[in-house]
Amino acid sequence: MPHDRRLYATFDKAASTYQVARPGYPAELYSDLLTITGLTPPAHLLEVGCGPGKATLPLARMGFRITAVEFGEALAAEARHRLAEFPDVSVITSSFESWEPPADARFDLLYAATAWKWLDPEVKYAKAATLLPKGGHLAVWNADHAFPADADPFFFEIQKVYEEIGEGHDETWPPPLPEDEPNLIVPEFEKSGLFSVTGTRLYVWGLRYTADEYLALLDTFSGHIAMEPAKRRHLYQEIRRLLAARPDGRLTRHWSVALTVGRRR
């Protein structure tokens, strides 16, 4: 089922803070991506849902030519500002589904970082295939909250508050270990009939956050942006209260990124 487009649109409200509040993707991801695909600069890449340029900048710095398509006007403007020094990078304001590329447009790689899940499943794979030559690559990855064996107990405490305000976890709680999480993109690739999976990788790491840093991060998540103000105020007060009771006032949030790379059949 496609994700709610209204939630997708909320990210534009976080355009000015997203780049700083969200972590970058691991350097190993880009190294693995280029190893799996065999791509080298100045190959032409198409990024879908570039946001403010979180995954665009590392590849632009390597010398790739990039066309980036971004649904949010404010996010696209932020990306243009951050990528202004790269003349071979262009940012187009449009949804991927409605974007009309030049008739002769072809790309060596189409990639989406924490954006692919928001797109129409009836359109995205077919359109991606039309923009790639035979043997061209599609790469998808998402940044998710990970719960390894040493996950911070803070998240089990604050989950009670989410449940109290009617914003509890929709799936199994607690979530499985990162290595046990199913990669839902792999069957999507295969089901499309257009792409064969050529590589997958999993990256897990932890970051420390103060209360202010963590709340700034939450303000970039669609569910928190769209949350009723009274609920959000109560939740944030409880987060501050729990962290104030800790000696250093910090929490550790673990991240996981699952990279999936496919080749056009």
Asked if residue 153 is part of any domain, the answer here is no
211 C-beta neighbours (distance < 10 Å), count = 18
- When divided into structural domains, the chain yields a total of 1
Asked if residue 107 is part of any domain, the answer here is yes
Asked if residue 191 is part of any domain, the answer here is yes
Q: Which residue has the tokens 């691991």?
A: 26
- The CA distance from 212 to 239, in Å, is 10
* Beta strand spans in 30-117 (E): 44-48, 65-70, 89-93, 109-113
Domain with 24, as residue range(s), is 5-145+177-207+255-264
Q: Which two tokens stand for residue 16?
A: 């000015």
Q: Provide the CATH number for the domain around residue 125.
A: 3.40.50.150
Asked if residue 41 is part of any domain, the answer here is yes
- The CA distance from 203 to 232, in Å, is 30
- The CA distance from 102 to 80, in Å, is 20
Whether 52 contacts 18, CB under 8 Å: yes
Q: Which two tokens stand for residue 258?
A: 């699952």
Asked if residue 140 is part of any domain, the answer here is yes
Instruction: Please report, in tens digits, the pLDDT of each residue of the chain (265 residues total).
Output: 345 556 666 788 888 899 999 999 999 999 999 999 999 999 999 999 999 999 999 999 999 999 999 999 999 999 999 999 999 999 999 999 999 998 888 899 999 999 999 999 999 999 999 999 999 999 999 999 999 999 999 999 999 999 999 998 878 888 999 999 999 999 999 999 999 999 999 999 999 999 999 999 999 999 999 999 999 999 999 999 999 999 999 999 999 999 999 999 9
Asked if residue 197 is part of any domain, the answer here is yes
Give the type of residue at 255. W
The 44-48 sheet, strands edge to edge: 89-93, 65-70, 44-48, 109-113, 137-146, 250-264, 195-210
Asked if residue 15 is part of any domain, the answer here is yes
| 136 backbone φψ class: left, alpha, beta (φ>0; ψ -120 to 50) | beta
Q: Which two tokens stand for residue 2?
A: 């496609």
Asked if residue 71 is part of any domain, the answer here is yes
